[in-house]
């Protein structure tokens, strides 16, 4: 039997962490839902608390959406080099 050579198996660098997408609201929502669901299944006293906090969360989200719809957000640019542009040359 011959000894395997180094070139026989191509090198695989492994999983690149910078290619895994974690951004977005859906990933965060799924994480929170799974965490709360696992606590609610494991601890019976959490079920009532889950119902109350879900209702309060929906009401709070509605209040925030309503507030932002009625009040415009003033966005200001943060410029640390403003004095360079306004300086006469």
Would you kindly state where each structural domain of the chain is located, as residue ranges? Answer: 44-72
∠ CA(71), CA(29), CA(20), 5° rounding?
115
- Per-residue pLDDT for 78 more than 60? yes
Q: What are phi and psi of 14, to 5 degrees?
A: 100, -170
**Residue 88 above 60 pLDDT?**
no
Count the alpha carbons within 13 Å of 21 in the hemisphere toward its beta carbon. Answer: 5
Q: Could you tell me the pLDDT band of residue 65, with boundaries at 50, 70 and 90?
A: very high
Express as a percent the part of the chain with pLDDT over 70: 73
Calculate mean pLDDT across residues 33-62.
88
Residues in CB range of 44: below 8 A, 6 or more apart: none
Q: Do 50 and 40 touch, CB atoms closer than 8 A?
A: yes
pTM of this structure: 0.46
């Amino acid at each position: 039997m011959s000894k395997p050579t180094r070139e026989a198996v191509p090198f695989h660098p492994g999983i690149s962490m910078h290619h895994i997408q974690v951004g977005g609201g859906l990933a965060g929502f799924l994480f929170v839902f799974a965490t709360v669901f696992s606590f609610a299944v494991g601890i019976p006293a959490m079920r009532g608390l889950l119902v109350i906090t879900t209702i309060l969360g929906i009401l709070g989200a509605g209040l925030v959406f309503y507030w932002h719809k009625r009040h415009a957000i003033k966005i200001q640019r943060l410029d640390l080099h403003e004095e360079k542009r306004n300086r006469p040359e």
